[in-house]
């Protein structure tokens, strides 16, 4: 299977050992390269737009540790700030001023967030926000969309994206029916389906949660009327609108998708970028709703390491870099060049593709498209994607090892990196 011109002896050794120690040899499923075949590259270090594996191969990286590395890996200012913070200790378990600073930055940036609670991952943010949706409305049902991923909590493992989609898994064993019977699903970009669910479940739906731009079923932007339509429908039915901006927050605009599309959700989840590469998640929104969270209110949610000083430091420094003028214009330009270039080369070399980009997020499907939802995305030629992925790897380009994951650029990606990537794509696509 793995007939590579890359020297990967050490990666192979380490991954073989890992498979005896950890299920599938990894700490998170998609990393195992199962859907693209071959075996994963074991990383040694990361810097700027590049990663190096344990065999010394260098790659241009479009995964960016799944989103957080938006300023480039190991940004010197982030590393310096972390060194300084480290001297003061690694965990407090008590209030610290760094939480205020990051909270203020998040509240200033994200239009709908008036108060915020920090947690340790996107999963934790989403499971907490779900509890809050239910606590606030006194209703139990929620609507999510097929192919959207909101972390691995039981209630969300219904028609989920990311690794669940990548591995083609049915809804996970171990998730009791009783925890998902209140999870209703609709196809993304389908307002009629959402309307029907509201009509079939009067006064029972706590809210609608979605990735405002899908990244976990591949890259799928919202159709023009979709987000405004959801805002209207939820308001009409006394339900909450929740944007899961764990991926899009501080990525497709400083204020996330809600700023980009001018839609005010009631609640928002964040993660990835706001941790600057350390484990952080957050949820926030309207003050009257957030006041329900303990100890201000009765809805319980807690965390030993939440608000961790190192994680807050990396987040603060990352947002400071991002908020400098021109950051998002740069991401937009560099990413569009990449996405447009890939589409053009694919078409010139005779492949049916579709895709696009918004700011530092992009995607390419091996299907004519258009892709409006997960069902459309699944029409992609996955075999072709696998060969493309492997070919790019051998040409020194590290793409997400799944058709059902968006790609990410960073402030560290230069025009030269894009040129080299497109040159590699031209060679690989010609032989697909
Ligand atoms: C990554 C992601 C999550 C889960 O975050 P983790 O930190 O991996 O738990 C949730 N929602 C979205 C939209 C994500 O992209």
Q: What is the pLDDT of residue 170?
A: 62
Phi, psi (degrees; rounded to nearest 5) at 74: 50, 45
pLDDT digit string, tens, across residues 193-216: 999 999 999 999 999 999 999 999
CA–chain centroid gap for 164, Å, is 14
Distance from residue 1's CA to the centre of ligand 1 (Å): 31
* Best residue among 160, 243, 247 to mutate for probing ligand 1, ranked by most atoms within 8 Å of CB: 247
Q: What angle do CA 355, 221, 247 make, to 5 degrees?
A: 105
Q: Check residue 169 and give its pLDDT.
A: 63
Distance 208 CA to ligand 1 centre (A): 17
How far away, in angstroms, is 145 Cα from ligand 1 center?
15
Name the residue among 239, 248, 228, 35 with its Cα closest to residue 144.
Answer: 239
Tokens found for residue 57: 């191969």
Q: What is the mean pLDDT of the chain?
A: 96
- Choice among 53, 61, 244, 417 that is catalytic: 244
Is the pLDDT score of 3 beyond 50?
Answer: no
Residues in the chain: 432
Task: Give the pLDDT score at 4.
Answer: 58
Active site residue 272: yes
What is the dotted CATH code of the domain comprising 85-322? 3.40.640.10
Question: Where do the structural domains in the chain lie, given as residue ranges?
Answer: 85-322
The Cα–Cα gap between 118 and 100 comes to 11
CB 32 within 8 A of CB 216: no
Residue 149: active-site member: yes
Does ligand 1 come within 6 angstroms of the Cβ of 126? yes
Q: Which atom of ligand 1 is nearest to the CA of 248?
A: 13
Q: Is the shortest distance between the CB of 128 and ligand 1 below 6 Å?
A: no
- In the block, tokens 């021109």 appear at 326
86-117 per-position pLDDT tens digit: 999 999 999 999 999 999 999 999 999 999 99
* 28, 64, 121, 122, best to mutate for ligand 1 pocket (most atoms within 8 Å of CB): 122
How confident is the model over 270-314, as pLDDT tens digits? 999 999 999 999 999 999 999 999 999 999 999 999 999 999 999
Q: Which atom of ligand 1 is nearest to the CA of 211?
A: 13
């Amino acid at each position: 299977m793995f007939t590579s011109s890359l020297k990967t002896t050490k990666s192979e050794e380490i991954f073989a050992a890992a498979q005896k120690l950890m299920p599938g040899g990894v700490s998170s499923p998609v990393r195992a390269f199962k859907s693209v075949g071959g075996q994963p590259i074991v990383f040694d270090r990361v810097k700027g737009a590049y990663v190096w594996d344990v065999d010394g191969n260098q790659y241009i990286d479009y995964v960016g540790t799944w989103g957080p590395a938006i300023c480039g890996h190991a940004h010197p200012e982030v590393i310096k700030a972390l060194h300084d913070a480290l001297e003061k200790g690694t965990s407090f378990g008590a209030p610290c001023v760094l939480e205020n600073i990051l909270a203020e930055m998040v509240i200033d940036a994200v239009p709908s967030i008036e108060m915020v609670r920090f947690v340790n991952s996107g999963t934790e943010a989403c499971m907490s926000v779900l509890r809050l949706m239910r606590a606030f409305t006194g209703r139990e049902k929620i609507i999510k969309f097929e192919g959207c991923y909101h972390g691995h909590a039981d209630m969300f493992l219904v028609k989920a994206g990311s690794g669940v989609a990548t591995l083609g898994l049915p809804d996970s064993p171990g998730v009791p029916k009783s925890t998902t019977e209140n999870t209703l699903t609709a196809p993304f970009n389908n307002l009629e389906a959402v309307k029907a669910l509201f009509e079939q479940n009067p006064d029972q739906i706590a809210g609608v949660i979605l990735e405002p731009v899908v990244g976990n079923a591949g890259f799928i932007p919202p159709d023009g009327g979709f987000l405004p339509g959801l805002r209207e429908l939820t308001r009409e039915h006394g339900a909450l609108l929740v944007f899961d901006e764990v991926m899009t927050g501080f990525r497709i605009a400083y204020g996330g998708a809600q700023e980009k599309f001018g839609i005010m959700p009631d609640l928002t989840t964040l993660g990835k970028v706001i941790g600057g590469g350390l484990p952080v998640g957050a949820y926030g929104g309207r003050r009257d709703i957030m006041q329900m969270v303990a100890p201000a209110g009765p809805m319980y949610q807690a965390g030993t390491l939440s608000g961790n000083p190192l994680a807050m430091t990396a987040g603060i420094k990352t947002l400071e870099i991002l908020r400098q003028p021109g950051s998002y214009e740069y991401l937009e330009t560099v990413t569009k060049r990449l996405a447009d270039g890939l589409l053009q080369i694919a078409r010139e070399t005779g492949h049916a593709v579709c895709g696009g980009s918004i700011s530092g997020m992009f995607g390419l499907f091996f299907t004519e498209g258009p892709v409006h939802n997960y069902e459309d995305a699944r029409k992609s030629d996955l075999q072709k994607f696998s060969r493309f992925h492997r070919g790019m790897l051998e040409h020194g380009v590290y793409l997400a090892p799944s058709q059902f994951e968006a790609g990410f650029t960073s402030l560290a990606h230069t025009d030269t990196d894009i040129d080299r990537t497109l040159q590699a794509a031209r060679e690989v696509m010609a032989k697909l």
